[in-house]
Amino acid sequence: MCSVELRDDACCALVADPGVVDRDDPSLNGRRLLTACSPQHLAELTAAATPRTR
């Protein structure tokens, strides 16, 4: 997760995360919302959170 203080122009993206279970919204099971300070950082976080194919 981005450690920079987030502002209104923060970027968000949904990434796959099999470990996530959302009790409030089952449709979000297996997904996690990433938030970052910039598109560049968001791309880094998304890449880091995406399971690598072996």
Residues near Zn ion (CB under 5 A) = 2, 4, 36-37, 41
Contacts of 34 (CB under 8 A, 6+ apart): 1, 12, 13, 14, 15, 42, 45, 46, 49
Residue 52 C-beta: closest distance to Zn ion, Å: 21
Residue 7 C-beta: closest distance to Zn ion, Å: 11
For the chain, state the CA radius of gyration. 12
Residue closer to Zn ion by CB (options 13, 30) is: 13
Residue closer to Zn ion by CB (options 4, 21) is: 4
